[in-house]
Amino acid sequence: MVQQIFCRALVSASWLSGAIKTRPLGAALRVVDSTWYAPGGKDARKDFAEKHIQGALFFDMDQCSEKSSPYEMMLPSESQFAKYVGSLGINNQSHVVVYDCDSAGMMYAPRVWWMFRLFGHNKVSVLDGGLRNWLKQGLPVTAEVTEVKPHTFQTKLNRCLLKTFEDIQENLSSTKFQLVDARGEARFRGPEPKPGEGIGPGHIPGSLNLPFSSLLTKDGYEKSVDEIRKLFQEKGVDLTKPLTATCHRGVTACHLALAAFVTGKQDVAVYDGSWSEWFHRAGPEHKVYEKKGTKA
C-alpha cells in the first residue's frame, strides 16, 4: 500500500488525514506548506504560523531559489536544494506531501513537487485540493510548531525534466519538443500586462496555450484523467511526443507537468525561466504579441 502511494502524484485529504493519525510524523512522512504571496501582499509564513496541517513545515520558495538570478523564482543549485530540504528533516527515504493555501485549491504545490522530482526524489505527492478543501472537509489545523532535526538529502539531477533559455531558443528551429504555455489567454496573446510588473504580454513562437486553471475543477481539485487528456487533445498537444511547459515564472507550468503525469506521461520538462526570462533575453522577432486582431 505504501509503495503504491509513493507512485501517486496526488493524494487525497482523507488519505493524508488517515496517515497522520496512524503513523508518527517524522522523516518517513513529511508534509510541507508551499504557499507563496507576491511581495507587498499577505505574509505566507505568518499565515502558516497561525494555521497549518498537523506536523507540517513551511517550505519557503523564496529561500529555496537562486537569489543571484535577475529572474523570478529560479531554481537553486543541487547543493542549495539538498541543504534546504535537509533542514526540513527530509531525507531520500521520505514521502513528501506538498500543499498550499491558495483559493484555487492548488497553485504553488506543483512547483515544489516538480522540484523534488527534478532533483531525483520521486517519493513526492501533491495534496489534491490543497488546504482550501482540507478545511472544507472539516479536517483539523493547528498553530503548533514542529521541531525537526536536519537530515542528509542527496540530489541526483534528472536533466530531462528541465529546459533552459538556450534549449528553447534552439527548439525554435529544431522543433524537437512541443511547448505549452500555462498562462491565461490574455497574458499569452495580449492585450495588456498587469500594471507595474514590467513584463509585457505575449508568447514564445510556436507555443500552444493551455491555461493551468482549466485543469482544475471549480472546487480546486485536479480534473479526471479523461478530462485532462481531452484538454490536451483540444489544444493540439500530443502526449505521446516530447513536451515542455512554460508560464510566467516556471510555477504554473508545473501544473501542466503534474496533469500530464497523472495521465501516465512522466517526462514533461519545465522551462524554468519561462516568460519572465524570455521577455528580457529574446529578440523582438522571437516574441509574439497579438492585439486587436493583429500579431506583432
What cell numbers appear for 101 in the block? 493555501
Residue 7: predicted pLDDT: 47
Under 8 Å CB-to-CB from 278, ≥6 apart: which residues? 165, 168, 204, 246, 271, 286, 287
Question: Which region holds residue 190: left if phi is over 0, alpha if psi is between -120 and 50, else beta?
Answer: left
Split at pLDDT 50, 70, 90, the class of 292 is: low
Per-residue pLDDT tens for 22-60?
A: 977 788 999 999 999 988 788 999 999 999 999 999 999
Residue 26: predicted pLDDT: 87
Q: Do 147 and 191 fall into the same domain?
A: no
What's the rounded mean pLDDT across residues 228-241? 98
Q: Rg (Cα) of the chain, in Å, rounded?
A: 19
Q: Do 95 and 131 fall into the same domain?
A: yes
Under 8 Å CB-to-CB from 92, ≥6 apart: which residues? 121, 153, 154
Q: Do 204 and 114 fall into the same domain?
A: no
Q: Do 143 and 209 fall into the same domain?
A: no
Q: Do 68 and 117 fall into the same domain?
A: yes
What cell numbers appear for 139 in the block? 479536517
In the predicted structure, residue 222 carries a pLDDT above the cut 80: yes
Of 93, 127, 157, the last residue of a domain is 157
Q: Do 166 and 209 fall into the same domain?
A: yes
Q: Packing angle between helix 274-281 and helix 165-174, nearest 10 degrees?
A: 80
Q: Do 142 and 206 fall into the same domain?
A: no
Q: Do 137 and 171 fall into the same domain?
A: no
Split at pLDDT 50, 70, 90, the class of 291 is: low
Under 8 Å CB-to-CB from 4, ≥6 apart: which residues? none
Grid cell 509503495 — which residue?
Answer: 3
Residue 196: predicted pLDDT: 63
In the predicted structure, residue 294 carries a pLDDT above the cut 70: no
Q: Do 130 and 213 fall into the same domain?
A: no
In the predicted structure, residue 2 carries a pLDDT above the cut 50: no
Residue 39: predicted pLDDT: 82
Catalytic pick from 7, 64, 101, 247? Answer: 247
Under 8 Å CB-to-CB from 106, ≥6 apart: which residues? 99, 100, 126, 127, 128, 129, 130, 216, 220, 222, 255
Q: Do 168 and 220 fall into the same domain?
A: yes
In the predicted structure, residue 194 carries a pLDDT above the cut 50: yes
In the predicted structure, residue 246 carries a pLDDT above the cut 90: yes
Is 247 one of the catalytic residues?
yes
In the predicted structure, residue 238 carries a pLDDT above the cut 90: yes
* CATH code assigned at 287: 3.40.250.10
In the predicted structure, residue 6 carries a pLDDT above the cut 50: no
pLDDT more than 90, % of the chain? 86
In the predicted structure, residue 5 carries a pLDDT above the cut 50: no
Asked if residue 95 lies in contact with residue 5, where contact means CB atoms within 8 angstroms, the answer is: yes
Q: Do 148 and 29 fall into the same domain?
A: yes
Q: Do 265 and 131 fall into the same domain?
A: no
In the predicted structure, residue 193 carries a pLDDT above the cut 90: no
Q: Cα separation of 263 and 266, whole Å?
A: 8
Per-residue pLDDT tens for 109-131?
A: 999 999 999 999 999 999 999 99
Of 131, 157, 183, the last residue of a domain is 157
* Containing structural domain, residue 59: 2-157
Residue 195: predicted pLDDT: 60
Q: How many domains does the chain have?
A: 2
Of 157, 185, 208, the last residue of a domain is 157
